[in-house]
Amino acid sequence: MSKGLHMREVTMYYAEGNNQITALDHVSISVEPGEFVAVVGPSGSGKSTFLSIAGAMLKASEGDIQLNGNHISKLTEKELSNIRLHEVGFIMQSSNLVPYLNVLDQLLVVKRMAGTIKKEDKVFAIKLLEELGLGLKLKSFPEELSGGEKQRTAIARSLMNNPNIILADEPTASLDTKRAHEVVSLIAQEVKSRQKAAIMVTHDERMLEYCDRVYRMYDGGLSLAES
């Protein structure tokens, strides 16, 4: 079984009136466990569509997507929902934390969505948060956290179900330079130590030093950037 994320000749069309818009144009990429790659490109180049397809939120018009050995283009909606819950960890532009949950419960709610919360889940959540420097913030609510702390909570939450794929969508958009470096270096560190396949979509060229490879996206096409 092929681990990681493998997309081959993936194309996405949208109908707009009588026209057919190509959002993704024969995109191919492979990301193995322990690899952290970046995708950069201007607004409207197809990055959001690419990430939605990679994360099993959107079905491609053509092509093959393997996510940790699952050919996701052949799965039902229920199976895709299961894949999103157990195989993919998402880190969004803004941390997307639930306002009325404290830091520890932000992680435990992921387990509740997947079933029940066991004692070992709580132990794992606390260990994750301590690793990411949030050990003293377990009972804090989002409004009491700095921007960097919110994003670190979001990183911990993305790892809570021990997924095989991490997808980060502009994770530094709301952070200053120092916090941005902290957050992306933390993502890179977790990807390496936990052997996750990870893709970060970003406009922030300063963050590319943490990535193993950089791809550029233009008009729905994806190509490896020259180093």
d(CA 194, CA 192): 6
Give the mean pLDDT of 177-201: 91
Question: What are the beta bridge partners of residue 214?
Answer: 38
Asked whether the predicted pLDDT for residue 94 surpasses 80, the reply is no
Specify the pLDDT at position 1. Answer: 57
pTM for this model (two decimals): 0.89
pLDDT, mean over the chain: 89
Percentage of the chain modeled with pLDDT above 90: 50
Length, in residues, of the chain: 227
Specify the pLDDT at position 38. Answer: 96
Give the mean pLDDT of 198-216: 92
Specify the pLDDT at position 26. Answer: 93
SS3 214: strand
Give the mean pLDDT of 70-85: 86
Q: Which two tokens stand for residue 53?
A: 């397809």
Question: Which structural domains are found in the chain, ordered by start?
Answer: 5-96+164-224 (3.40.50.300)
Give the mean pLDDT of 134-148: 93
Asked whether the predicted pLDDT for residue 39 surpasses 90, the reply is yes
User: How many Å is the Cα radius of gyration of the chain?
Assistant: 17
